[in-house]
Amino acid sequence: MSMNMKPQMTHDAVTALIREIGENRQSYEASGYGAATPETAMVTALAENECAGLTARRARFEGEIGIERDPIVFSHGKGAFIWDVEGRPYIDMGACFAVAAYGHANEELVDALTAQAQKLMHGMGDVYPTDTKILCLKKLAELAPGNLNQALMSQSGAEAIETAVKMAQMATKRHRLIAFESCYHGLSFGALSLTGHSDAFKAPFRQRICADTTYVPYANCVRCAFGCKPETCGFACLKHLERLLKAPSSGCGDVAAVIAEPIQGRGGDVVPPAGWLKTLRDICTENGVLLILDEIYTGFGRTGALFACDHEGVVPDILCLGKAMTGGFPLSAAIATPEVLKHWPLNTTEAIHTSTFLGNPMGCAVAIRAMEILVRDDLPARAAEMGRALLQALRQIAQKRPDIIFDVRGKGLMIGIEFADPDGSPRTDLALKVVDRMRDRGIILLPSGPWSQVVSLSPPLVTPKPCLDAFLEAFEDIVAAL
Ligand SMILES: Cc1ncc(COP(=O)(O)O)c(C=O)c1O
């Protein structure tokens, strides 16, 4: 190492950082977490040798792209940090799929959960609601834009999407949906009939997937399907969509709704240009089709506003939410306007749509507290400010490697760094290498994009600045060495 070279970021450096910013690990050690036990060895051995899914995945990665991916077994977390069973700490730059927005083991959320567990852990879903569920729906309606105030709850994002589709079909008596290329709406069969992210998700199950979806190109301006430049395009992708809705021979005469992510998450953190979402809203309204916005990833402050549609003052007909709604407890919702939900039939004998855990009071209790924290601490503003600084720093790093970094984009704390040759050929190998090397230095990231060519950042909204600095330092080092 040369004299002026900084020491490399390592797990030890992450530990030092934890001490520096006061995410005190000792309380965990005192309670027994993080200490290696005979069970630790057993769990690790199972993960490495006996869990078929993990082992197969590691072998496939190694065979196909030369990267070995040993499973990490996570044990506990605190704030922006997460530890594996062997006590190694990591900075969680993905908030475990953009869920842990309020930080891991957030004490206020744990308190809310504990209090509700002592009161009532499970109720009767939609038959007899709980007080907690009603209060949660009230809070949700207060935060949601416009007159979105009628929600149906569920557990996963995919279920919220399926509920939204049912709402749209019920309201319009039509069946077709228009979705965007590279979109991700979940992988259960109903959601999979919309997800366009990767054909690989669908291929083995094609026969059971409904075919009533038409895909149109998303506003991915660095890979524009129409060959346009953002400054002059006039939203060619939306003109194409509009033409499909109007042309009698387009095969799109029966569209119930258009479904869109305001920013594509797993599709590669793709941010449409300003005005795009508003134009999409207008096209839907003018053509009598509903607009479903999937804010399962972008919702609850992630992009620097409570909801990403708030950036443009857009109110969809149905909004799908999940992930950061609770910060870690499985709960999701499709929330619609009264005009949409007035078409929902009354239950007579059997409910037309329900599930055992619908509106589970534990989830609702933690969601209420999460929404209070979000507003009280103005986390959207924090995400906006932190995100701006992060984006600027990343763009400076990218300028030094135009040969491999194709684009850096994002809004708030939802950022993607796309690895590609200057002609746009995706460099999956480099993105995965970065994810892998960062992990070895104690920083957790995930790839996104149709070719897994994007390194994706979605850290907890409460991530302390020193963690973001540590991430930048490690990232710059790793990119320089590629
Ligand atoms: C935008 C979006 N919609 C839907 C989903 C599916 O959510 P879940 O995995 O909870 O089913 C995801 C998950 O990543 C998502 O990012």
Q: What is the pLDDT of residue 74?
A: 87
Q: If you measure from the C-alpha of residue 186 to the centroid of ligand 1, how many angstroms do you get, rounded to a whole number?
A: 5
Contacts of 135 (CB under 8 A, 6+ apart): 364, 368
Rounded-to-integer distance, Cα 3 and Cα 257, Å? 61
- Closest protein CA for atom 13 of ligand 1: 186
Q: If you measure from the C-alpha of residue 105 to the centroid of ligand 1, how many angstroms do you get, rounded to a whole number?
A: 22
Buried b (16+ CB within 10 A) or exposed e, 153-166: bbbbbbbbbbbbbb
Rounded-to-integer distance, Cα 282 and Cα 266, Å? 26
Rounded-to-integer distance, Cα 142 and Cα 307, Å? 13
State which amino acid sits at residue 286: E
Looking at ligand 1, which atom is closest to the CA of residue 156?
10
Ligand 1 site, residue 197, Cβ cutoff 6 A:
no
What are the strands, taking DSSP E only, across 316-442? 318-321, 332-336, 405-411, 414-419
CATH value of 141-376 in 1.10.3720.10, 3.90.1640.10, 3.40.50.2300, 3.40.640.10: 3.40.640.10
Select from 316, 340, 331 the least CA-distant residue to 260.
316
Number of other residues whose CB lies within 10 A of the CB of residue 250: 12
Select from 16, 27, 13 the least CA-distant residue to 77.
27
Alpha-carbon torsion angle 62, 63, 65, 67, nearest 10 = 10
- Closest protein CA for atom 4 of ligand 1: 185
Q: What is the pLDDT of residue 12?
A: 82
Rounded to 5 degrees, φ, ψ at 40 are -55, -50
Looking at ligand 1, which atom is closest to the CA of residue 266?
16
What are the strands, taking DSSP E only, across 360-445? 405-411, 414-419, 443-444
Looking at ligand 1, which atom is closest to the CA of residue 159?
11
Q: What is the pLDDT of residue 318?
A: 98
State which amino acid sits at residue 280: L
Ligand 1 site, residue 322, Cβ cutoff 6 A:
yes
CB-based burial label for 40 (10 Å; 0-12, 13-18, 19+) = middle
Alpha-carbon torsion angle 130, 131, 135, 137, nearest 10 = 20
Task: For the chain, count helices (H), then strands (E).
Answer: 17, 15
Task: Give pLDDT tens digits for 47-101.
Answer: 655 455 555 555 555 555 555 556 678 889 999 999 988 888 999 999 999 999 9
The secondary element (H helix, E strand) that includes residue 91 is strand 89-92
- Closest protein CA for atom 7 of ligand 1: 157
Rounded-to-integer distance, Cα 237 and Cα 243, Å? 10
Q: What is the pLDDT of residue 7?
A: 44
Rounded-to-integer distance, Cα 125 and Cα 132, Å? 11
Lookup result for tokens 């407890």: 329
SS3 call for 68: coil
Task: Give pLDDT tens digits for 94-113.
Answer: 999 999 999 999 999 999 99
Q: What are the sequence ranges of the domains in the chain?
A: 141-376
Ligand 1 site, residue 294, Cβ cutoff 6 A:
yes
Which residues in the chain land under pLDDT 50? 1-7, 25-31, 50
Q: What is the pLDDT of residue 4?
A: 41
The secondary element (H helix, E strand) that includes residue 179 is strand 176-180
In this structure, are residues 99 and 296 in contact, taking their beta carbons and an 8 Å threshold? no
Q: If you measure from the C-alpha of residue 184 to the centroid of ligand 1, how many angstroms do you get, rounded to a whole number?
A: 7
